[in-house]
């Protein structure tokens, strides 16, 4: 697959690593749908990438129905989907037991939902669309890239939720 042929969904696409991926793809002739929840940054990202190459689609990656609808909107804008790059993530930093007491379970759960479950949610919705693509010369119908972190293996103090979520991404990706 050539970069100029990429029609990609990029989660976390309006800042950080996601925006860097989107910039690279758009600069090389690809088109991108930016899934994120920051409307101001979404508007700025599309303005910098060009409305012909990028569209911001407000998407909570933890919401199954919303992701399916967003993937359909992305497919319509892009003229198909042949790549999904999961960069959406939150830190969820905090000690399991800190000065203010134990970490609230909701904080841990939210981090796992965005980083791990969100990656799965977007991957499965994108794969459901990509399965209908015509196979390329190599038999490929699309590609899904899940972003993890060295924290999956070498987490630091205060990274229990983040490390667990990224360890989950690592463990999920190979069998996918």
The residues that are catalytic are: 162
Residues 6+ apart with CB under 8 A from 143: 1, 82, 83, 84
- Sign of the dihedral defined by the CA atoms of residues 10, 16, 21, 27, in that order: positive
Which residue has tokens 């359909």?
A: 72
Closest to 59 measured CA to CA, from 124, 10, 108, 106: 10
- Sign of the dihedral defined by the CA atoms of residues 50, 52, 54, 55, in that order: positive
């Amino acid at each position: 697959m050539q970069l100029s042929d990429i029609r990609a969904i990029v989660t976390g696409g309006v800042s950080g690593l996601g925006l860097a991926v989107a910039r690279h793809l758009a600069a090389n002739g690809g088109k991108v749908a930016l899934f994120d929840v920051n409307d101001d940054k979404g508007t700025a990202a599309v303005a910098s990438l060009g409305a012909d190459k990028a569209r911001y689609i407000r998407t909570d990656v933890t919401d199954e129905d919303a992701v399916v609808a967003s993937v359909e909107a992305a497919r319509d804008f892009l003229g198909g989907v042949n790549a999904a790059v999961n960069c959406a993530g939150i830190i969820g930093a905090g000690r399991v037991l800190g000065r203010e007491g134990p970490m609230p379970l909701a904080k841990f759960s939210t981090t796992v939902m965005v980083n791990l479950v969100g990656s799965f949610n977007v991957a499965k919705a994108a794969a459901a669309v990509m399965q209908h693509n015509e196979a390329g010369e190599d038999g490929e119908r699309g590609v899904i890239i899940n972003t993890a972190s060295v924290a999956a293996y070498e987490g630091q103090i205060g990274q229990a939720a983040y490390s667990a979520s990224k360890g989950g991404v690592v463990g999920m990706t190979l069998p996918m």
